[in-house]
Amino acid sequence: MVKDKILVIGASGQIGVELTLALRKIYGNANVIASDLREQNPLLEGTGPYVSLDVMNKEMLHVQVIRQNVTQIYLLAAILSATGEKNPNLAWNLNMQGLLNVLDIAREEKLHKVYWPSSIAVFGPTSPKINCPQQTIIEPITVYGISKYAGEFWCNYYHQRWGVDIRSLRYPGLISYKSAPGGGTTDYAIEIFYEALENKKYECFLKEDTYLPMMYMPDAIKATIELMEAPAQNISIHTSYNISGMSFSPKEIADSVQHHIPDFKISYKPDYRQNIANSWPQSIDDSIARKDWNWQQDYDLKAMTADMLANMK
Ligand code: NAD
Ligand code: SER
């Protein structure tokens, strides 16, 4: 059996750090190369190889893939929803060209597998709000959502036309404490923990009744690895799989935090991110992921809150 050599692009980010550490446990430290535009995250130091890399520089990326005998790429470099609205051109360029560079190299070098995440941001105001299905009306209103939806169809195209084995999940908002989030609309669900522990109060940029699909990072890492390890014949979705963990509002997560920190107070001052959140579904139907590769989450709001606070303290 050929041993896989994995390149993680965007390894210093919110998902990248935890995914790289999890992949190193499975494949061996030396077989998982972390890479990013910015410096290595301190949590990765001493755990395996790191290269400084810009996914927009296709030539350099190609050289690294050949030189390091890379057989799988996890592409995590992207601009997220809230930051994307501040600089739409930058978001479109990075989110699209970065993906196309990786797909081209995967085709030319016959890589075994590619992982690229999409998002619930593909959905728009005309999509169903509750239990939003895999296939439905998809009319995103953010540049981030547009880039993710276009990206999904590029993945499908490279699979259909050239047989590239590329797999993808439409992550909900991800909650974690190891590496800071990168500018998403769902980041309030992380900020609330830091502010509750430090100041016992938090001013939320979304309204109290804004329900959004969310997931705790250990579940996101588990889903990613399970999807990538599933037999190819089980994969029926070649755009990106709906995936679900939990769904809650700012008021509900505040109540959950108050259970542990009784004098914690929340207030609400919605900003431009409210409009983005209003355009997304409140919950997601992920029955195809459950059927195809037996997806099942471990964490609900209560379990996630307890684990976040225990680890952050
Ligand atoms: P992040 O912003 O925390 O990390 C992205 C990393 O990419 C950063 O470390 C950044 O330095 C790096 N990067 C940026 N430009 C680069 C370039 N040109 N070359 C190489 N590296 C570059 O993002 P994240 O939250 O870890 O998200 C990773 C992926 O998951 C993205 O595609 C994102 O859209 C998707 N996603 C994330 C969430 C979430 O809640 N975090 C939800 C849905 C989808
Ligand atoms: N958490 C992400 C964001 O808010 C969803 O893709 O941008």
Both 148 and 24 in one domain: the answer is yes
Residues framing ligand 1 (Cβ under 6 A): 9-10, 12-16, 36-38, 53-56, 76-78, 80, 94, 117, 119, 171, 173-174, 181-182, 184, 186
Are 206 and 143 found together in one domain?
Answer: no
- Could you give the number of structural domains in the chain? 2
Domain that holds residue 101: 6-172+216-242
Q: Are 113 and 149 in a shared domain? A: yes
Please indicate, yes or no, whether residues 168 and 223 belong to a single structural domain of this protein: yes
Tell whether 299 and 236 lie within a shared domain. no
Q: Quickly state the pLDDT bin for 268 (edges 50, 70, 90).
A: very high
Pinpoint the alpha helices (H) of 164-270.
188-199, 217-229, 250-260
Instruction: Indicate if 93 and 184 belong to the same structural domain.
Output: no
Q: Each residue of 74-122: pLDDT tens digit?
A: 999 999 999 999 999 999 999 999 999 999 999 999 999 999 999 999 9
Query: Nearest CA to 170 among 96, 240, 219, 257?
Result: 240
pLDDT attached to residue 2: 60
Please check whether residues 115 and 257 belong to one and the same domain. Answer: no
Phi, psi of 110 (to 5 degrees): 50, 50
Report the chain's mean pLDDT, rounded to a whole number. 97
At 27-38, the pLDDT tens digits run 999 999 999 999
Same domain as 197, residue 113 = no
Q: Which of 74, 115, 144, 241 is catalytic?
A: 144
Which band of pLDDT confidence, cut at 50, 70 and 90, is reported for residue 3? Answer: confident
Instruction: Classify residue 84: in a domain, yes or no.
Output: yes
From the alpha carbon of 186, which atom of ligand 2 is closest? 4
142 shares its domain with 209: no
Asked whether 221 and 298 are in contact (CB, 8 A), the reply is no
1 domain residue, yes or no: no
* Per-residue model confidence as pLDDT tens digits over 109-161: 999 999 999 999 999 999 999 999 999 999 999 999 999 999 999 999 999 99
Shared-domain flag, residues 233 and 154: yes
Q: Are residues 163 and 263 in the same domain?
A: no
Can 144 be counted among the known catalytic residues? yes
pTM for the model stands at: 0.98
Q: Output the CA torsion sign for 2, 293, 233, 95.
A: negative
Cα 79 to middle of ligand 1, angstroms: 6
Two structure tokens written together for 163: 């047989």
| CATH code: domain of residue 44 | 3.40.50.720
Nearest protein CA to atom 5 of ligand 2, as residue: 173
